[in-house]
Chains A and B, each alone.
Chain A
Amino acid sequence: MKAGLLRSPSPLPGFGLSFGIMMTMLSIVVLLPIAALLGRGLMIGPGALWDMVNSDRIWAALSLSFRAALIASFFNLVFGLMLAWVLVRYRFWGRRFIDAAVDLPFALPTAVAGIALTALYAPNGVFGQALAPLGLRVAYTEIGIWVALVFIGQPFVVRTVQPVIEELDPDLEEVSATLGARRLHTLRRVILPTLTPALLTGFALALARSVGEYGSVIFIAGNIPGATEIAPLLIVIRLEEYNCDAAAAIGITMLVISFAMLLAINAIQIWSRRRIGLV
């Protein structure tokens, strides 16, 4: 590539057209709206922004959104790894069926999932009635939010880890066994480190999705301010009050925290890749 040249020469036509379509749509659909949010933040100013966010109700909503997303994503990390392992390594009747079903949360609209989960876990629902004797209330409590977030975040870990398990080199496991490692030891010290980067990617995707999730949560959450009110719902409430600045303040805070979290996960990922010598 010549210095100063933005694009190296190519005999193929259509760069101008395709690049033009891409940049036009990217600008109108994604960049302009993001600029509008950040621009609003700048107009309000950092001091006023902080004052708007700094209330008990908003901190409660933000910490609930991030806490519930972390809990649900950890749950999905463990069960996602298990599901991916079972789907790749074992052969059993109905495997393909379960493999296809894993993507259900991607295909099912979130509002549909939301009302279905609420009907199931409500005090008069099938699961709600079964759990009541155990003293466990799911619908209209924070546990309900976890259940909804487990549902919508479920495919991410499975789908990122699955291809990596498929491509694991069987020689490594054989070598480990020949050298006298027990199976559990091989799984923990040979296989798990190889899967860690993919696991983290899946975790990060599930987390990003869960933090901002709205449709599946609002039905089952009960939406009690300070207790089961998630941050995206608070944005909707502020917008319904025509208080755009307050809504923007919460939106910007969510973006900043999500961004910081994804950066941190990215850093752990680079560290774990280096550790197993992939980079």
Chain B
Amino acid sequence: MSDIALSRPVPVTTEPTFARMALIGLAVVFVALFLFAPLVTVFAEALAEGWCGVIAALTLPDARAAIGMTLTIAAIAVPLNAVFGIAAAWAIAKFDFRGKAFLITLIDLPFSVSPVVAGLMLVLLFGANSTLGAWLIANDMRIVFAFPGILLATLFVTFPFVARELIPVMIEQGKAEEEAALTLGASGWRTFLTVTLPNIRWALLYGVLLCNARAMGEFGAVAVISGKIRGQTATMPTMVEMFYNEYLSVAAFSLAAVLAMLALLTLLLKSLLEWRHADLLAATRRH
């Protein structure tokens, strides 16, 4: 077999060698210029004054408060998103009802709405000059320029992540296994915990990973709804902007470098999941 392969001329189903080399070269240059260069810049600018500068920047009270805020938001938004994703996938994949396609469109909608418009929507809904907003303020409940607003904005922009990962996986797996478990006498919850959850765990993890990255990194929607109050409602990305606009370059890039490290960790875990469990992730992964 290998003799035949060796004696054969260049296969007809690939490009000539020079074309292949040129395309690979172009791809590498593109990725280096457009992706790696910005990433390297973040770390280079953060280290412009050495490690001391980074440590000094990250221990600033404003930076510490922003890191705390971002971690808190992600710790609440991501589990809520996962619960929604599992519920939505269970309802959509395991049952037949009308209007499913429309429902999936609605779940995907936040991907086509500008984050700034998402923030605007929340301001219009809960702001002081709306009926609901006026009532909430009269009852001493603040949503705009406060924690609940940031949480809602984060939930909006991350809304489809877990659901769109789980829905295709659960549709592909069908419901035969769950039906068998129920027939054998397992309760609904037990069926879910011991049959469904193990089947979807890697896809769930994948969705949670992407959701977390976006939750920690969201800028536009949070910038609009949070009012960017230092030490109170500023998150890491909005604090990066404020430091940058005050020409505190090292502080801005140090905080940005922490976010970039998180992004790299996300990419690493995501790649590991894709290599190890490609078969258990959605076949129609779009992003």
- Annotate A200-221 by CB proximity to B: 1 below 8 A, 0 otherwise: 0100010011011111000100
Main secondary structure on A side of the interface with B: helix
**Would A154 and B13 count as touching, CB distance under 8 A?**
no
**Would B27 and A86 count as touching, CB distance under 8 A?**
yes
Selected interface stretch from A18-26, A50-58, A135-143: A18-26
Given known A-B contacts A159-B287, A236-B116, A111 and B240 have beta carbons under 8 A apart: yes
A134-172 contacts to B, CB under 8 A, are 147, 150-151, 154-156, 159-160, 163, 170
A73 to chain B, nearest CB (A): 13
For residue A25, which residues in chain B have a CB less than 8 angstroms away from its CB?
Answer: 80, 84, 87, 155
Kindly state whether residue A13 has any CB partner on chain B within 8 Å. yes
**Would A6 and B216 count as touching, CB distance under 8 A?**
no
Given known A-B contacts A155-B287, A205-B287, A12 and B182 have beta carbons under 8 A apart: yes
Question: CB-nearest residue of chain B relative to A39?
Answer: B124
- B contact residues, total (Cβ < 8 Å): 104
Not counting A30-B110, A163-B285, a sample of 17 additional A-B residue pairs whose C-beta atoms are within 8 angstroms of each other reads A7-B97, A12-B178, A12-B188, A25-B80, A34-B109, A83-B31, A86-B24, A100-B271, A102-B31, A104-B267, A108-B259, A108-B260, A116-B39, A159-B285, A183-B12, A213-B220, A235-B117
Interface residues, chain A, CB within 8 Å of chain B?
A: 1, 6-8, 10-15, 17-22, 25-26, 28-34, 36-37, 40, 79, 82-83, 85-87, 89-90, 92, 94, 96, 98-113, 115-117, 119-120, 125-127, 147, 150-151, 154-156, 159-160, 163, 170, 173-174, 177-178, 183, 187, 201, 205, 208-209, 211-215, 219, 232-233, 235-236, 239, 244, 247-248, 251, 254-255, 258, 262
A-B pairs, 10 with minimum CB distance:
A212-B114, A109-B217, A33-B121, A177-B12, A215-B219, A13-B188, A36-B125, A21-B87, A214-B220, A107-B263
A-B contact pairs, 17 of them (CB 8 A): A1-B96, A12-B182, A21-B87, A26-B106, A28-B152, A103-B270, A107-B266, A109-B218, A110-B217, A111-B237, A154-B34, A173-B13, A208-B112, A214-B219, A215-B115, A251-B116, A262-B112
